Each structure stands twice: as structure tokens, then as C-alpha cells.
């Protein structure tokens, strides 16, 4: 079967760093996405990894290890506006996205 | 540039009433189209996807249906709503063919069934 696991909820402090992990088992792999979703809004694209390694984009970085079926999203210098759900999704052999349930990130002052 | 728009943004409907949510995409041709539902605090559940006009695949059994009357128009319908149909409905599109599979979402439609 296909499975994507990520923590349900995480709490971090403003200005700190947080790492959100995602592990996956899918039929085929054509890349891994991270989306951000604020409450009541649609998901928005954050990052895409298809090769092993770290992709950095400003305060956000995403890492992929295909051999381990593992990714993480790293958020630095946390701001209150980063409070949101972060969704991990894998593109399978048919280029269909398989979604994790999302990680709700709570930022405290 | 490509845009996607869905409406209405919010609606409150009584149990047993019909439903119609509409989604249109501009700036691209032959997109894959999707309808997702998200219950409060939950992940995305794929309801329907379409690879072309009149071609609809259903992922879960339910009292909802979808139609694609035009290339860039996707409609979600129900003849009789249930309480369990309440949720946040998202339309999305992706490029046809061997692209990454990235999805681009509409603004979402929040449905409350009373």
C-alpha cells in the first residue's frame, strides 16, 4: 500500500528553528512536495525535491533521501505567520500526488 | 499565466438539498483536474480526477458526482446532501503528461450542511 507519515502537530518558539519530518512508502517515486496551508485557505507550494539532498529557499529548506524514504522541511527564524499546516505529498509512478495528513505547526511568542 | 477559480467560496445548505460547485482554469490547455475534500483538521481526500472532457475517475464511493463539460471546467454536484458532506472542497489542476505532478489549487469552497 501507499503510506505517508508526518507528525500531527508541532510547537515551536518565534525566532527558533523547526524540522518537520515525512516518511513515505509509495508505488513509484517522481518527487516529493511540501505545501503550506493556512487555516481556511488552499494549500500553496513550498518546495519540490526529486534528487537526494538539500534544497534551500530563503528561510525554508527541504531535504530528501530516496533510499530511506524520508524528507524533512526545515523552517528557520520562525515568524508568527509560519503558523500553518505543512503537507507532505509524493508524486507516484503515475504522477499522481499521494498526500500525508499534514502537520499543524503552532508558533508561540 | 495560469489561474484557477472556484465558487462559491462559502455555502450553507440543508440536508437533502442539491449542490453544485464550479471550477474553471485559465491559461493552460488539457489540464488534469481534481476535486478534493478536507474535513476539519484532516488531510486531503481525493474525490474525483479527470484527464479530459467527459473522463471522470472516482476515488471514493459517495453521493457526489463530477462532470467536465469543457476542457477547463470541472463541476462537483450532489442531488441530496448529507451531513457528512460538510467540509472544505478544493479544486486543483496539474499539467498533463510526464510533469512533476505539482498541483495548483483554487481558493476553496467551504460547505456546511445543516
- For A81, residues 6+ apart whose C-beta sits below 8 A from its C-beta are none
Residue A69: band (very low, low, confident or very high) from pLDDT cuts 50, 70, 90? very high
Contact A31 B90 (CB under 8 A): no
Q: How many CA atoms lie within 13 Å of A55's alpha carbon, on the beta-carbon side?
A: 17
Q: A105 contacts in B (CB within 8 Å)?
A: none
pLDDT tens digits for range B54-106: 999 988 767 899 999 999 999 999 999 999 999 999 999 998 875 788 899 99
Percent of chain A with pLDDT over 70: 100
Contact A87 B44 (CB under 8 A): yes
Nearest-CA distance B98 → chain A (Å):
7
Task: Tell how far CA A76 is from the center of its chain.
Answer: 14
Q: What is the largest CA-CA distance in chain A?
A: 43
The x, y and z cell numbers of residue A23, run together, are: 516518511
Residue B1: band (very low, low, confident or very high) from pLDDT cuts 50, 70, 90? confident
Q: A44 contacts in B (CB within 8 Å)?
A: 105
Contact B105 A96 (CB under 8 A): no
Nearest-CA distance A3 → chain B (Å):
13
Amino acid at each position: 500500500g501507499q503510506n505517508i507519515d508526518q507528525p500531527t502537530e508541532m510547537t515551536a518558539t518565534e525566532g527558533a528553528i523547526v524540522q518537520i519530518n515525512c516518511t513515505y512508502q509509495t508505488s513509484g517515486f517522481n518527487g516529493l512536495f511540501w505545501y503550506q496551508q493556512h487555516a481556511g485557505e488552499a494549500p500553496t507550494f513550498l518546495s519540490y525535491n526529486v534528487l537526494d539532498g538539500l534544497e534551500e529557499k530563503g528561510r525554508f529548506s527541504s531535504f530528501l533521501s530516496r533510499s530511506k524514504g524520508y524528507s524533512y522541511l526545515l523552517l528557520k527564524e520562525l515568524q508568527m505567520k509560519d503558523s500553518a499546516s505543512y503537507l507532505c505529498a509524493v508524486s507516484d509512478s503515475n504522477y499522481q500526488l499521494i498526500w500525508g495528513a499534514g502537520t499543524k505547526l503552532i508558533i508561540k511568542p | 499565466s495560469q489561474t484557477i477559480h472556484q465558487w462559491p467560496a462559502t455555502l450553507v445548505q440543508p440536508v437533502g438539498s442539491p449542490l453544485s460547485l464550479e471550477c474553471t482554469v485559465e491559461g493552460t490547455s488539457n489540464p488534469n483536474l481534481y476535486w478534493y475534500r478536507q474535513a476539519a483538521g484532516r488531510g486531503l481526500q481525493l474525490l474525483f480526477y479527470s484527464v479530459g472532457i467527459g473522463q471522470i475517475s472516482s476515488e471514493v464511493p459517495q453521493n457526489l458526482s463530477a462532470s467536465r463539460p469543457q476542457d477547463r471546467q470541472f463541476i462537483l454536484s450532489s442531488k441530496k446532501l448529507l451531513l457528512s458532506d460538510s467540509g472544505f472542497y478544493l479544486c486543483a489542476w496539474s499539467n498533463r503528461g510526464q510533469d512533476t505532478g505539482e498541483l495548483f489549487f483554487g481558493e476553496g469552497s467551504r460547505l456546511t450542511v445543516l
